[in-house]
Chains A and B, each alone.
Chain A
Amino acid sequence: MIANILRVETLNTDSYEYRNMTPDATIDRRSYLKAVSAVGATGGLAGCTGGGNGESGGDDESGGGDGKSGGNEVINPGTAPGFPPFEYTENGELVGFDVDLAEAAIERAGYEVGEWTEIEFESLIPALTQGNLDLIAAAMTISEDRQETIAFTNPYYESDQAVLVAEDSELSPESADGLADQRVGAQSGTTGQDEVDALVEDGTVAADDRRQYDNYTLGVQDLENGNVDALIIDIPVARNFADGRAVTIAFTIETGEVYGMGMRQDDDRLADINDALAEIQEDGTYEELVTEWFE
C-alpha cells in the first residue's frame, strides 16, 4: 500500500492523551497498543488503589460499582453488524472483535452480559439514550458531536480512514485532490461520511456526487459496479474488503480517530468498564483478541 498521507484537520482528537504519545501516522500496531495500554493503566490505577492484580481485583471494584448504579447488574450491549472484523454475523451468530472485547469488559467489570441488540449504526445512539441498550460496541469513533449526547469509555482502538477505489478503475488518487469531481461515498452516520462532507464543503467534490449507503457492503458493491468512484471507510474494514473484493486502497487519510464504547452519560458503570478495559489491555487479553480478529 502506498500511503501518501494526507493531513486533514479534524474536530476532536487533539485532546486525547494518546495523541501526544503517537503524533505520527506511520505508527505500527504494537507501539500503538503499548501507548493505549499506558493510558489504560493510568486509568486503572486511578480506579483501584493497589489492586489491579488479575481477576480478583476486578471483582472487588465491581462490588463498589454495583452500589453506585443501584444494583443494575446486567449490561445489554448493542452493535451494528456488517462491519467485519469488528462486528458481523456468521452462521446466524453475532461475532467480531468488538463483540468479544465488550463481553470480556462487561464480565471483567463484574456485570452480566445481557442481550445483544443488532440495529442500524445510525440508530445506536438513540437506542442507547432511550434505554433500549446500555453499551455501544460498534467501532464507534469518539467525536465531540457524539459526546454531546453520550459518554465514551477510554479509547480501545485507533483507526484512520482509507480511500477505496475499484481495482479496474482508471482513477488512482494519491491524495484528496485526486478525488476532485469524482463521486465519493460512505456509510451514513460514520466518520467516513464526515470526511466526504468535508470534501464537499471545501469544493473538491460536488454535492451531487456525494453517495450514502446503509452499510459498506452495499457501498463496495456499488464501487465494483462503477456507480461510485471512491469510498471513504475505516482502515481495518477497508483492508478486509480489499482482500475479498475487486477494490483496492488508494490512499489513507490520517484522522487520528479512536474507537470507544458508548454509554449513557449518567451511567455510573462507565468507570468499572474503563477499569476492566485497562485490565484487559494489561494482562494480554487485548493482544489475543487482536491476533484472533486482525491477523
Chain B
Amino acid sequence: MEPAVLQATDWGFILANWDTLALGGVVTVLLTATSLTLGFALGFPSGAIEVYGEGWLADIVSTAGVLLRGTPIVVLIVLFFFALPIPRLGTVPVVDMKLNAFVTATLALGLRSAAYQSQVFRGSIQSIGEGQLEAARSVGMTKLQAIQHVVFPQAVRRSLPGFQNEFTIVLKDTSVAFAIGLAELLTRAERLYLQPGRDTVVIEVIITISAIYFVLTFTTNRALDYVHSQYAIPGGNQ
C-alpha cells in the first residue's frame, strides 16, 4: 500500500461534488435558522418569566428548562424522532430533505436552545440595576411599562454576546440530525465517502466540512459583532 494520505484526485472528487455539500450547507443553515427562531420565541419570554414570574407558570418554565438542559441533544433528537407522532410530510425538492425529520430536528434543537436562551436573557435582565425599575415606577410607569421600555431594551443588547455563543452552538449541533438521517451537511458528507470506490476520501471530506462549519460560524459571528457595535448603548456599559 502506498502512503497516500491526501491525494489530489480525492480533493478533485470533493470539488466535483461541491453541489452535494452546498445543498447540505443550505439544510444546515435552514435548520439553524428555524431552531434559533423557535428558541428565541420560547426562550425570551421564558427568561422574563424566570425573573418576574411566579406561581405555576414559573414552575413549568423552570422545570422544562432543567429537563431540556439536562438531556444530551442526541438523546433528545432520537427521542423526538421515535416517540413523537410526527406524520410523514413529504420531501422538500431541490435540497432533497425529509420534512418530518426536519421538523423533528427543529423541535429538538429549538426547545433545547430555548432552555439555554432563557438563561442568557434571565442573566441580562437581572444585570439591569433594580434602581432603574424603581425610578421608572416613580415617574409613573406601570411595572409592565417599566419592564418593556426600560429593562428589555437594555437587556436585549446585553444578551447579544451570550446569544452569539448560543448561535454558534446551535449551528454546530445541527450535525446531530445525522442520527435521524436528515440530509444536512454531515449526513451528505458521509454519503460521499460511503460510495464504492470513494472510500478513501474520509479524511478529505471531514476536513472540508470542518472548514465549511468554520466559515459559517466565523461569518455569522462577525455579522453579530457588527450588529452589537451598531446597537450598543451609546456611552453605556455595552
What is A's interface to B at a CB cutoff of 8 Å? 76, 81-82, 84-85, 88-90, 92, 114-115, 117-120, 123, 126-127, 130, 132, 166-168, 215, 217-218, 220-221, 224, 240-241, 244-246
Measured in the bound complex, the distance between the Cα atoms of B91 and A218 in whole Å is: 29
Contact B196–A167 (Cβ < 8 Å):
no
A215 to chain B, nearest CB (A): 6
Contact A217–B98 (Cβ < 8 Å):
no
B193 at interface by CB-CB < 8 Å = yes
B194 at interface by CB-CB < 8 Å = yes
B residues 152-209 near A (Cβ < 8 Å) are 179-181, 188, 190-191, 193-197, 199-200, 202
Residue pairs across A and B with CB atoms within 8 Å: the count is: 67
B81 at interface by CB-CB < 8 Å = yes
- Given A218-B202, A221-B199, A245-B200: A123 and B179 within 8 A (CB)? yes
Measured in the bound complex, the distance between the Cα atoms of B20 and A221 in whole Å is: 23
Closest to B191 in A: A89
Our pick among A82, A92, A167 for the contact of B96 (Cβ within 8 Å) is A92
Our pick among B1, B98, B191, B197 for the contact of A167 (Cβ within 8 Å) is B1
Residues of B contacting A245 in the complex (Cβ-Cβ under 8 angstroms): 199-200
Closest to A82 in B: B194
Residues of A contacting B83 in the complex (Cβ-Cβ under 8 angstroms): 130
Contact A220–B1 (Cβ < 8 Å):
no
Contact A240–B82 (Cβ < 8 Å):
no
Contact A127–B1 (Cβ < 8 Å):
no
Residues of B contacting A88 in the complex (Cβ-Cβ under 8 angstroms): 194-196
Residues of A contacting B20 in the complex (Cβ-Cβ under 8 angstroms): 92
B residues 81-111 near A (Cβ < 8 Å) are 81-83, 88, 90-91, 96, 98
B26 to chain A, nearest CB (A): 14
Closest to A83 in B: B194
A46 to chain B, nearest CB (A): 33
Measured in the bound complex, the distance between the Cα atoms of B188 and A81 in whole Å is: 11
Residues of B contacting A246 in the complex (Cβ-Cβ under 8 angstroms): 1
Measured in the bound complex, the distance between the Cα atoms of B183 and A117 in whole Å is: 11
Residues of B contacting A117 in the complex (Cβ-Cβ under 8 angstroms): 98, 181
A159 to chain B, nearest CB (A): 17
Residues of A contacting B194 in the complex (Cβ-Cβ under 8 angstroms): 81-82, 84, 88-89, 215, 217
B27 to chain A, nearest CB (A): 13
Our pick among B91, B181, B190, B196 for the contact of A84 (Cβ within 8 Å) is B196
A18 to chain B, nearest CB (A): 28
Residues of B contacting A217 in the complex (Cβ-Cβ under 8 angstroms): 193-194, 199, 202
20 contacts between A and B (CB under 8 A): A84-B195, A84-B196, A85-B196, A88-B196, A90-B195, A92-B191, A114-B88, A119-B181, A120-B179, A120-B181, A123-B181, A127-B82, A132-B81, A167-B1, A215-B190, A217-B194, A217-B202, A241-B199, A244-B199, A245-B200
